[in-house]
Structure 1
C-alpha cells in the first residue's frame, strides 16, 4: 500500500482507499455500544447471528455480527425491540464497502438497569431546567386546531378524537400516525412534532399512546424526544399510558394527562357545560342588573319624595311671599322717606319764603337800586338827578333823585 498522497495525476485505487478506511476504523478498537435491536437474523446451518442495532433517538443503525454461542450466553431470548449492550470491534468489509460491528459479548439490559438510566437522565434534564414549572405554557381555552401524534388506528387515537368531539363537535384535528414503540418510534415522533410545531394553525399538540410495559414506553422517556418537546413553540400535552405510567415526557410537557381520554377532557371544553355556565352567568347578570335597577329606582323615588322635588313650587311660593313682603316694606319705607322729605322741603321753602326779600316786598316795602344795581341804603349814596330803579312786589319803577330841604 502506497504512502504517497493522492492527486489527480496519481489517484489511489479503490483497494487502497478501502484498506486505509479499514485501518482508520480499526484504530477505534473494542468498544461498548448501547442500542435497540431492530432485527435478529439466525441463519440455519451457520453459527453466525446478524443483528440490526438502532439508535433509540435517531434514525441510525449498524449491523452487528456475533457467534450463536455468544448470543445464547448473554441474551438467549433476544427479540426485536430489546435494549442491549454489546462489546464489539468495528470492522470494514472492503469487498462490500460496508461497516459492521463484531461482538464478542452481548448483555440484555434489564428493567432495573433501564429504570436506573431513566432516573439518571431525569436528574440531568431537571438540572437543565426542562421540568421547570415557570416555563410551562397555559393551554388555550378553545384551540382552533389540535395536532395529534399517535399510533395508527390505535385506541389512544380513538379515545382522543371521540371524547374531544363529544365535548365540542366542531373541533378540528390534524393527526399524524407514527410508530409508538420500537426502534423507529422516537425519530418518527420527533419528525411529526416538528411538522405540527411549524403549522401555524395548530394551537396545541397531543402526544398519545395507550398503556404498555416499561420497555414499550421507553421511547417516551428518550432524551431526544424530551429536548424536542422542550424546544416546541406550541404547547404540548403528554397523554401516555395509564395513570400510573409516568414517562419523562410527562415532566417536560406543558400539561400531563393521565390517559388519552383525560387529554381530550383537558384540552377541549365541554360545550354543554359551557352553555350551562353561560346560562348561569346570564342569570347572575340579570339578577345583578335587576338589583341595580331596583336600587336606582328606590334612590330616584327617595329623591322624588323630597319636598324640594315633590313640590318644587313650594320653595318658589315661599320665596315669592318673602319677595312680596320685602317689596311692600321697601315701598312703605320709600313712601315714608318721600313724605318726610316733602315735609322737610315745605318747611325749608317756608323758611326761605320768610327770609326772602320778596316776602318783605309783599308787605309794601321797596328796594331802591342805582343804575349799577347797588342798593341804596342812605340818601348820601345817591347824587342829585341820578336815575334810580325801584323794585316793588309786583314790578319795577324808575325815578329821578331830587334834593329835598333835608337832603336828597
Structure 2
C-alpha cells in the first residue's frame, strides 16, 4: 500500500521539467536518454546547489576561521550526514568522500595490501565491472593472494552453490557488485555477505548500479564496505563515497598522504588524523560533496519505493516491446534485475545500431560496458544497453523500439 500511495503523487511529466537537458534536441530529434547506467541526468535543484556554492561561499574547508570557510565546511559535513542517514551507516565518520566508485575500491584494495599474505584467497564474481576486477588482480600480484571467481549462468545470475564451494578459512575478502552494470542482475548480496562472514571474510559491495534504484541499508545488510558514485544518482561527476565499518577503516592504513589527513607532522614522524579525515587527503571536491547531498534530497523526496516501482514498469514494457523484434536477443534474464536491457540483433554489431539510433536522437551505450568477462561468457563483442531512469517514459520507449527496428532493417 505504501508504494501505491506514493505512486499516486508521482507524475513523470512534472519530474521531467526538473531536468533541463531533457528538453533539448539531438540531430534534430527530441533527446531520448537511455544511458542512465553510465551516468544519470542532473535536476535543476542540484544544478542550483552547484551554482549557489560557487556564487556565495566557495572556500576551502576545515582550515579557515573566516565565514566563507565555516559555511563551506558546515555544508560539506551536513552532506556527509545526509549520506550517512541515506545508507543508514551507524556513524558519520564511516562515510569517506572519494572521487567515485573506482577510487573507493582502490582505496580498500590498497589498504588490504598490508593485511594479506601468500596463500590467502579473495573472491570476485563473473559479473563484475573492470573496476572491481583489476584492483584485486593488482592486489594479488602484490601479496601473493589468489583470486577466485564466482561463475555465472546463462540467465546472468551467479551460481551460489559454486560460491559456497569456493569459501574456506583461506578466504579473506569477497567483492561483488550489488547490481550488474552490464545486465541489470540484482545479486543475492545478503546471502553472499552471510556466507562470507561465516568463514571470517570481509565483503565489499560495488553499489554504483544499485544505489540509483535501491536504498541500501548497510547495517541491515551487515556489509563491511559499500561504494557508490554520485553521478549515477542525479549528482555531479567526480565525487563518490566509501562506506566502511569503523573497525575496518581503523585497520586500513591511509591511502594517500598530504594535508587534511594528518594529526601532527615532523620530519621524524607523522601521526594521522581520526576518521574520516585519515582517508581524505588534500582539498576534496567540496562542491561535489554538497551537490551529492542535494541529489539524495531530490531522490528521497520522490521516494525510492516510487522510483523502483515506476522503473520496473518501464523495464517490463520495454522488454515486451523489444521481444517483438525478430532476431533480437536479450542478455540477462534473471528474475531480479533493475531497469537495464542488454541486447543484440543477429550478427549486427551493437556499435552500428547505436550509431544509427543516435542520428535519431536516442542515447544508448554500446560495447562491453567495462564488463568484458561477461561478454566473453556469452561469446559476443558487446551489446546495445538501454538503461532507464524514473524520468523516462513509455512514449520514449516506443520511439526507441521503432528506431531499433529501423536500424535492423538498414543493417540486415
| Structure with more relative contact order (C-alpha pairs < 8 Å, separation 6 or more) | 2
TM-score norm. by structure 1 comes to 0.27
Where is the strand percentage greater, Structure 1 or Structure 2?
1
TM-score norm. by structure 2 comes to 0.27
